[in-house]
Amino acid sequence: MNRVIKNPIQSSLDTSRAELLDVIQELSKATVPLVYWTGYESLTLVTAPFIKYWSITISENPLRRVFPRRWLDTEGRKIAEFWEAALRSVLGLIVFRPGISQVCICEAQASSHLIVHQTEIRWRLRSTYDRQEVHDLLRYLLAEDFLKVQIADEQGASHDATVMPLNDVDGRHVFYFTGDRRWYQV
Classified by CATH at the fold level, domain 70-185 comes out as Arc Repressor Mutant, subunit A (1.10.10)
| pLDDT of amino acid 141 | 93
> DSSP letter at 102?
S
Give the integer Cα–Cα distance in Å for 80 and 77. 9
Each residue's pLDDT tens digit, 133-184: 988 899 899 989 999 888 776 555 554 455 455 666 666 678 888 988 888 8
List, in sequence order, the alpha helices (H) in the chain: 6-12, 17-28, 80-96, 120-124, 131-143
The domain limits of the chain are 1-54, 70-185
| pLDDT of amino acid 8 | 66
| pLDDT of amino acid 131 | 84
| pLDDT of amino acid 114 | 47
- Residues in contact with 181: Cβ distance below 8 Å, sequence separation at least 6, in sequence order: 144, 145, 146
Helix/strand/coil for 38 = strand
65 strand-pairing partners: 57
In contact, 81 and 43? CB cutoff 8 Å? no
pTM of the model: 0.74
Nearest one of 51, 11, 7 to 28, comparing CA atoms:
51
Low-confidence ranges of the chain (pLDDT < 70): 1-11, 102-119, 153-172
* CA-based max dimension of the chain: 54
